[in-house]
A and B are shown apart, each in its own frame.
Chain A
């Protein structure tokens, strides 16, 4: 049992624990906010923009860089659209809270 742990195993550890967190957090979401939940998870899945930026990142400009830039654009639609539309919906729920 010596030697470094394979990164895959570390990733798997994080993955499994994150699923547990997601499970518990999402069951606590009130059903009235399920549509904003979907919109905000849409924005969060836009985190894939980080992967896209890395793909677009290398100094050498080639087909991979172009694919990365296209992916950045697509993911940015999700990030901005997702968070802003969530905000818009949540503002509607707030108005009547006076």
Chain B
């Protein structure tokens, strides 16, 4: 097949990928968009297959990997999406490293020429170390998200200096590779990059995972683009850049939602913030009001409008379906029910929307923070369930609070606030929440699912 034909097929595939992302601007066009993406990928793979020799082995490899991927995609629980995404980032990273090694081993296979030009060597270096950092960093992120590693940040003195030293060493070996074109500096450089990946993600705490996962999403794209440069393959460059910028934008959105700079997250300093804040726990017992599920049902059943604020605690308690039943029961009584979603309500961007969609909550009822914040003041009852820091008013009015400046849902403006929680324990940031002590707030203690089920019974 002629090189021009291949290049045109790649161009078509790249356009289809852009359409796939464009489709996600609304849930209605999204499914068609995903189909475009699949067609684009199919076209790219088939076209490439015609220019390779070992197509039998390649087909076997695709079948094996594809089967594993398909089975995982079918079985994975929606609460485990962040882990899955992290695991997949690591695969892209490792694949990038392997391809770079293969390219170095046999440049002719890619039409680079028998020897590597100066620019090829630089591209190989960049593609490899981005891939290596993505690979190990994502494994650590996966470990933290799936609870295998513990989400506590791991820090030690001189950490940043160590990272800096390793970074300098990595570049030094990269230069050695550039000059000598031999395997030893190449492999050492790759190993150092892998170590950096581990050290970068280890110190980042559980609450910052939405940023980390978006960042690694971005890296996996840049790794693909880097390989595209090495292979002079425009489609890899385009697809990689799309993914890279997508991840970068998501990181930015997540940072903004937590009012933190990107560097602040990467260099650590949150997660273990209990030492900085939590000053209100100075022995004074504050007074709060608590009530039963029946009281909550009575209040909501007699309201005109109810806004539900779900947090990750809701998903942990597997109460999504129950909460949908509850809203149906309320709607049947003529109550206007909506859900308010904070951008960091789950473990990854948009996570809570997927969890609610899985429970068949109509997406018209699910409203983003910026759109619903003005409406809390006109709302009779707000039910906060499994959320804490994202409704903490001290982010607005307490300059000494570590979360000061973080955008929150203005739940405190509502006429009545119900909070479902296991206990008075603090949230991720380790902060006390003055919302719980307001006169109009009623605490309902217990497991989220149990409480919601009791409310449903009481409403019936």
Contact = CB atoms under 8 A, between A and B. Distances in A.
A70 B213 contact: no
Given A42-B217, A76-B61, A23 B363 contact: no
B206 interface: no
Contact of B24 (A33, A54, A73, A82): A33
Interface in A56-98: 56-65, 67-97
Given A22-B242, A56-B52, A45 B350 contact: no
A25 B63 CA distance: 32
Contact of B65 (A7, A38, A72): A72
Interface centre among B13, B20, B30, B250 (most CB of A within 10 A): B30
7 contacts: A22-B244, A34-B253, A36-B354, A44-B17, A57-B53, A85-B73, A96-B363
Interface residues of B, number: 115
Interface in B4-31: 13-14, 17-18, 20-22, 24-28, 30-31
A26 B81 contact: no
A19 B74 CA distance: 32
Contact of A47 (B44, B64, B362, B368): B44
Given A44-B242, A64-B102, A80-B73, A27 B213 contact: no
A97 B163 CA distance: 50
A91 B54 contact: no
Nearest to A68: B102
Interface in B235-263: 235-247, 249-250, 253
Contact of A80 (B65, B76, B363): B65
Contact of A58 (B109, B213, B358): B109
B114 interface: no
B198 interface: no
Interface residues of A, number: 83
B137 interface: no
A12 B73 CA distance: 35
Contact of B368 (A31, A59, A63, A80): A31
B69 A26 contact: no
A14 B95 contact: no
B250 A37 contact: yes
B51 A57 contact: yes
Contacts of A53: 45, 48-49, 52, 58
B390 to A, nearest CB: 14
A38 B413 CA distance: 34
Interface string B34-73: 1001100100110011011110011001111111111011
Contact of B95 (A7, A52, A61): A52
A86 B17 CA distance: 14
Given A32-B353, A37-B250, A81-B84, A45 B53 contact: no
Contacts of A26: 21, 242, 245-246, 249-250
A80 B88 CA distance: 11
A14 B30 contact: no
A29 B24 contact: yes
B220 A35 contact: no
B366 interface: yes
A59 B53 contact: yes
Given A41-B243, A63-B105, A84-B69, A79 B78 contact: no
Interface stretch (B142-150, B225-233, B293-301, B432-440): B225-233
Contact of A96 (B62, B78, B103, B357): B357
A67 B103 CA distance: 10
B98 A27 contact: no
Nearest to B245: A22
Contacts of A63: 105
Contacts of A90: 27, 30-31, 34
Given A14-B237, A77-B88, A86-B34, A38 B213 contact: yes
A34 B250 contact: yes
A30 interface: yes
A62 B105 contact: yes
A57 B234 CA distance: 19
Contacts of A14: 234, 237-238
Contacts of A77: 65-66, 68-69, 72, 88, 91
A96 to B, nearest CB: 4
B85 interface: yes
A61 to B, nearest CB: 7
Contacts of A34: 250, 253, 348-350, 353
A1 interface: no
B328 to A, nearest CB: 12
A21 B45 CA distance: 23
A74 B91 contact: yes
B73 A84 contact: yes
Contacts of B91: 74-75, 77-78
A44 B84 contact: no
Interface centre among A7, A34, A80 (most CB of B within 10 A): A34
A53 B394 CA distance: 54
B119 interface: yes
Contacts of B363: 32, 93, 96-97
B99 A18 contact: no
